[in-house]
Amino acid sequence: MHLSDHILCQLDETYVQALDEARLRGLSLRLLEDLKEARERLRQNPANSSRPPSSRAPWERPPAGDEEPSDDAEASLPAQDQDAPDAASASPEEPPDPPETQAPEHAASKPEKPKRKPGKQPGAPGFGRTQVFKAHETIIHRPETCAACAEALPADAPSVAYAGFQSVDLQWGDAEQPGLHLRITDQRFHDTLCGCGHHTRARPGEGRVDDPTLEPVALSEWRLVGPGLATLIVALHLRFRMSRRRLREFLHDWLGLSLSVGTLDRTLREAAAAAAPLENELIEAVVASELLHADETSWPQGADLLWLWVFTSATVTLFVVAKRGREVLDRLLPGFTGWLMSDGWQAYRHLPQRLRCWAHLTRKAQGLIDSDDREAQAFGHQVQRAFDTLIGAIHAARAGPPVDLPRLHAELLAELHAACVRLLGHRHAKTRALAVELWNDWDAIFRVLENPQWPLTNNDAERALRHWVIARRIMMGTRGEAGSRAFTLLASVIDTCRKRCHVPWLYLAGVIAERRAGRAAAPLLAPMPGL
């Protein structure tokens, strides 16, 4: 939209009559574009846009009984360490709300629970912004061109501040000046008078969030929390696994900054929305990997028990929360032509180029050695000896000249294979299971002998998951699909930056700043040379 309400109410017959032809044509074109866009918006509904079903007018809704699943903000908020009640959320329809209005009165509420008034209860202590800081500087935002006649506005044009807010941002410490520094800025937005008689207002930037699977949150420059501070909040929450309550305590006690849990929550969601367009790039990097490690661990999402998947290679790490099934592989990996290292789980079996983690198999062999069954013990020892011999040979081959390992160890492999075939129907369940597993997946397990440079374990994927397994206990999973998406997006960007030997935070701060200004996020940083 070119013309805001403020501009439109200044345009009248007198103004239009006074314009010369060239300016009139320019204004007409802007009006025409706005008119078309407005008409298109009028035709939008939940079936043809990302408008949520709850935005339908009452007469457009399906009759009671076959309601669409509720997608109201509260139902799918990321888990909040029981901090939910004062989580204020901004709806995208609202104009950018100044930090002063982050009071809990604006908290999202479920219409079907009328007993308790949503938001702050009478007498309850408020968490709105009460701090006023002494600013380090004032930045004046003036419009550059007239919104009506499109002429450049001279620096000395009559100009007056019509709105403003304070922002707090982080200045990074470095070797010369270590430490955390907060910088307070008074942001002033001006209304400037053009020679044509039109008033034009500078406006804070706004970004679009076109992703219906994310929580509705506005990307806006009109924020108390600047991009650098937003990144510190993301870092403390995800990398240092601080709950929102702890985070609030930390900012208050160490930085003298009082932010509501609602503001922290919105900052996290805004950061995720800013990073959302990077997901395609992450998936492309995963698909282009020559050697990919995959693993999965359970992940609670609301009442559902889902799985946190990780796909990681030398230069990318992608997390996804999804069901445990082939769907996620079918969705993410079409076109993948590299090698996939995984455990022996069924869903991976259809992929043609697989490698198997030997650590899983030797653990199972150890289990047989520790059993009370003599035949099981014997088989366990045989498997263990075979793997020990082959691991030694692989390590030697990595350092030395090329050798034909499958031929060199053909006898050992033939004996092991014969033992597996003999034990396929063994009465001892675990013996039978290991024999079946080795026999079934023989090619994937011993393919590493053809290329000893390939890894023997899936440690890369297990290491990538370990941090989040601990975080799972603190976060108690996520509350809904939108929360899972927000979490996996940020975790993927952070871990991919680290894989590529970059500090993620400066990059992420840049992504937030660009997206708040309504521009595209910069692509992910290329891996450092030598990776």
| Contact footprint for Zn ion (CB under 5 A) | 146, 149, 194, 196, 198
Closer to Zn ion by CB, 193 or 436: give it. Answer: 193
Task: Please report how close the Cβ of residue 38 comes to Zn ion at its closest, in angstroms.
Answer: 23
Q: Which is nearer to Zn ion, 196 or 314 (CB)?
A: 196
140: phi then psi, degrees, rounded to nearest 5: -100, 125
Of 281, 280, 312, 285, which Cα lies nearest the Cα of 296? 312
Please, what is the minimum distance in Å from the beta carbon of residue 151 to Zn ion?
Answer: 5
CB of 14 to Zn ion, least distance (A): 14
d(C-alpha 155, C-alpha 98), whole Å: 27
Cβ distance to Zn ion smaller for residue 120 or 199: 199
Q: Least distance (Å) from Zn ion to the CB of residue 221? A: 24
Is the Cβ–Cβ distance between 257 and 251 less than 8 Å?
Answer: yes
CA distance 423 to 77: 51
Q: Collapse the DSSP code of 339 into the 3-class scheme (helix H, G, I; strand E, B; otherwise coil) and give the result.
A: strand
- CA 194 centroid distance within chain: 43
CB nearer to Zn ion: give 194 or 225.
194
Nearest distance, CB of residue 149 and Zn ion, angstroms: 3
Q: What minimum distance in Å lies between the beta carbon of 163 and Zn ion?
A: 21
Minimum CB distance to Zn ion, residue 35 (Å)? 21
Q: Which conformational region is residue 231 in: left (phi greater than 0), alpha (psi within -120 to 50 degrees), or beta?
A: alpha
Cα(398)–Cα(402) distance, integer angstroms: 8
Name the residue nearer to Zn ion (CB basis): 200 or 243: 200
SS3 185: strand
What is the gyration radius of the CA atoms in the chain, in angstroms? 30
- AA letter at 138: T
DSSP 189: E
Q: How far is the CB of 161 from Zn ion (least distance, A)?
A: 20
Instruction: Output 148 or 318, the one with its CB closest to Zn ion.
Output: 148
Per DSSP, which regions of 39-198 are E strands?
A: 137-141, 159-171, 181-193
The alpha carbon of 261 is separated from its chain's Cα centroid by a whole number of angstroms, namely 20
Q: Counting Cβ atoms within 10 Å, is residue 87 exposed (0-12), middle (13-18) or buried (19+)?
A: buried
Query: Cβ closer to Zn ion: 146 or 268?
Result: 146
Taking the C-alpha atoms of residue 499 and residue 341, their distance in angstroms, rounded to an integer, is 18
> Pairing state of beta strands 339-342 and 291-301?
parallel
Asked if 449 contacts 405 with a C-beta cutoff of 8 angstroms, the reply is yes
Q: How far is the CB of 493 from Zn ion (least distance, A)?
A: 43
Q: For Zn ion, which is the closer residue by CB, 194 or 357? A: 194
Nearer Cβ to Zn ion, position 190 or 293?
Answer: 190
